Structure 1
């Protein structure tokens, strides 16, 4: 590999590390979990040391690295993290770390340093974070879905029990009144009164029951 190719590679590596450090800093700034934010800051510090390493490679060959500046892509990701949260760009950052975790193992300058192990460690850490977030979201989803199923089950149970209770109690009331009198209006009024009273009683009782169950689930 000639000198020009080496310089291009050094600059590319340096820019990748600058971008990664900037992204981790942005993620740390908006992360509400302080333990996770601390991890992001530690990752950023490691990436900044990698930037220094590649700058030294350039300087040893008489090339001025210039000022450190994130690429347009990295600035967009940083803006996204600050606007929508660190988890929004976590999969993207993790995928790039995973894809490049072995790059330094094939480069003579970094092959015998700790950089390869550190990059692989970064990929593992970010993958674990994604799994952790997915697990938390899955648990929350299961809890919510379980609550929905419970509410749906309560509604069906209430409908079946209410219909059964209403039919039996109202039929018994009408038959009792019919046995005591032959007046059709009296039987009709008794049936309607029993129907309204039973409906109100069942509705109020079931509302109290479902509300109590929902509060207990929460």
Structure 2
């Protein structure tokens, strides 16, 4: 059976004043409390809880989080809903959260997150193996899950924790992941390092990252191949 997974929709709300702000509620604790009162059944999934209920909680930063129900295939991390489908800090934070769940603090680690066309976020981590030939990039799981769900990917970001420098890096997609993301066209946004940005990263389209994409040589008008071509 496919587990029901929490769908988190982050909606910007006016922050409350500092003196009126209450302690940030733990969404999992909220769910446990509701479920204890018979609000629904739950199944753990990558540290998140599935449920058939919907509950709004306000975070200490003034943002509101809606906890509701959603469907996910097994094998992918957090699934949440977001009003934007453009690469933003929310997507980066989702990747970092997945990384922190999977890799202990202070260790090397990484993860990826993608936006789907319906606003959902999928996260995944890479597969390490003694045989390097079977290892997988961090983005692979989320990309395959999007394809399984038959949903278009609109943005993708990969993060890496570098303990030596004490920082989290945003890594551009490797050539293989660019090929995988090309399935959804040249306007898919990806995160790239950018020292001129206060965040240390910026968004670029695949077209900008790969202006001489080889696949465009096999279309009549020189545009990027349509998804149907990839399916053939």
TM class by shorter-chain length?
A: under 0.3
Rg larger in 1 or in 2?
1
TM-score, with length taken from structure 1? 0.23
More strand, by proportion = 2
TM-score, with length taken from structure 2? 0.22
